[in-house]
Amino acid sequence: MKKHLALLLFLLAPAVLLAQEEEEWGKIEYKSKEQDEYYRERVENYQPWKPLDKSEILNYTNDFFGIKEIKDFTPYQKAEEHQRFYYESLRSRFDSCQELAAKVDKRQVIKYETRDSVEVIVYKSYEFFLASEPSVYVAYSSDNGTSWSFYYTGITYCQPLCFKPLSKLPLFNDKGQLQLEVCLLRQVSPLTLGHAADYELVKDGLVVTIDLSTLRKDSDGDGLTDIEESRFKTDPSNSDTDGDGVIDGLDLNPRMSVPRSEKTAIFESLVDDYRSDTIHITIPEMCYANDKTKPVLIVTDNPDLQSVLPQSKRVIVFSTVEFEKNAKFYYPMRELHISPLFKVDDEEDAYLVSITTNNGGDEYLVKRIGDIWKKVCVSSWIF
Ligand SMILES: [Ca+2]
Ligand SMILES: [Ca+2]
Ligand SMILES: [Ca+2]
C-alpha cells in the first residue's frame, strides 16, 4: 500500500511543482533588456499617419472592373448620411424574406435590385472587425432569393472608391453587368476604434461596371477567385503559391513555406489559441481552410513567425518590404502584431512576447519547464 502511495506521489510531483511555479509567475516582475531596446527603437522610428497624394487617388485603376465618367450623376454626400437615408427608404422593402435569406445586414446594403428571377444585393461587410473600413461584396440569387452566392469585389469602402446608395442608376446595365455610381475619395485623418476617418472628395461623377463572370473567375481552380487572390497576394495562375503541396484555397498559410523551429510553435500558440497555456512543440495536425476561415494579416521578417501553421485562421504573411509595396491603399484585413520573443534577463529558456490587434493586446511570459513550454498572460490592455 505504502509502495503505491509513494508511486502516486512520485507521479504527481512534477504536476504539483508545475502548478506552484506557475502560481509564482504572476507575482514576479520579469525584465528584458531586449524588450526595452526594441520598444525604444520603435518609439524613435515612429512614423505618424499621413494621407496619400491626391494624384495617387486620381490615378487609381481597378484591375477587374471598368471605371468611366458619366455626365448625369448623383452628387456625393457624406457616406453616413447616404447610408441612413437609404436604410430608411429600404426598411419597408426589406422587412420581407429576401434579406433574411441572404443574411445581409440591411444597414450595410449599398444597392438592391431584382430583374426577372435574379436578385442582387451589393453590400458592405466589416468581416469580423469594426475598426476597419468595410469590404464591398455582392450577394447573388438566380432563383428569387431561395439560394445565394456571395462574391468579394476586392473594393474597400471608402478609399479610393465610395459608392452612392442614393444613385438613380439602375443596378443592371443593358449587357447584364452591374453598374454603380462611385466617386474617388481621399482619407484625410487616421481611422481608430471609435473614430471614423474623414474623407475628402477628389473626383465625382464616375460609374464602376462589375461583370459577374469576373467576380466568379478562378483561373487556376484552387478555390480562391482571382479577386480573392489579389487580396491575399497569392498567385492567381498557380494553384499552390508557396509550393508546399496544399492548394491556396485550403492552405492556412498560403504565401510562405518556411522551415519550422521550436519558436514557431510558440508563435503558433499565440496566433491560434492564445488561451491555451501549454505549448506543443510537435508539428501540428494539418488543418485546412474553408469558406468561413478568418483571414488575418501578419507583417514580419522573422522566419520563426513566417512559418506558422495555424489550425483555425488563415494567416497571410508579408515581409515588411512586400507589405509596403502592396498596401498603398488601406489593406483590407485584420492585422495581428506579434512581437519578437524577448529573452527574460537572467533566466534560461524564458521569453516575454506580446500579441496586439487594433483594439487591444496581451503580453505573455513563455517558459520551458522540463520538456514542455508553458505560457501565462502577464498583462493585458485595450485601446
Ligand atoms: Ca484561384
Ligand atoms: Ca492561386
Ligand atoms: Ca500551398
Kindly state whether residue 358 falls inside one of the protein's structural domains: yes
On whether both 72 and 206 belong to a single domain, the answer is: yes
**Measuring CA to CA, which residue among 206, 214, 181 is closest to residue 65?**
214
Beta bridge partners, 180, equal 208
Confidence of residue 128 (pLDDT cuts 50, 70, 90): low
Confidence of residue 292 (pLDDT cuts 50, 70, 90): confident
Kindly state whether residue 239 falls inside one of the protein's structural domains: no
Structural domain of 87: 60-216
CA angle 94, 98, 104 (to 5 degrees): 80
Whole-angstrom Cα distance, residue 270 to residue 323? 21
On whether both 100 and 179 belong to a single domain, the answer is: yes
Ligand nearest to the CA of 257: 3
Confidence of residue 275 (pLDDT cuts 50, 70, 90): low
On whether both 95 and 178 belong to a single domain, the answer is: yes
Kindly state whether residue 4 falls inside one of the protein's structural domains: no
Ligand nearest to the CA of 247: 3
On whether both 198 and 331 belong to a single domain, the answer is: no
Q: How far apart are the CA of 239 and the centre of ligand 3, in A?
A: 8
- Looking at the structure of the chain, the number of domains it has is 2
Q: Which of 164, 189, 216 is the last residue of a domain?
A: 216
Kindly state whether residue 307 falls inside one of the protein's structural domains: yes
pLDDT at site 13: 42
pLDDT at site 108: 82
Judge contact between 307 and 261, C-beta under 8 A: yes
Ligand nearest to the CA of 240: 3
Q: How far apart are the CA of 261 and the centre of ligand 2, in A?
A: 27
Radius of gyration of the chain (CA): 25
Kindly state whether residue 93 falls inside one of the protein's structural domains: yes
Kindly state whether residue 10 falls inside one of the protein's structural domains: no
Least confident stretch, 3-17, 87-101, 156-170: 3-17
Q: How far apart are the CA of 66 and the centre of ligand 1, in A?
A: 21
Kindly state whether residue 198 falls inside one of the protein's structural domains: yes
Kindly state whether residue 359 falls inside one of the protein's structural domains: yes
Highest mean pLDDT among 10-24, 122-136, 320-334: 320-334
Average the pLDDT over 270-277 and give the result: 75
Question: 235 pLDDT exceeds 80?
Answer: yes
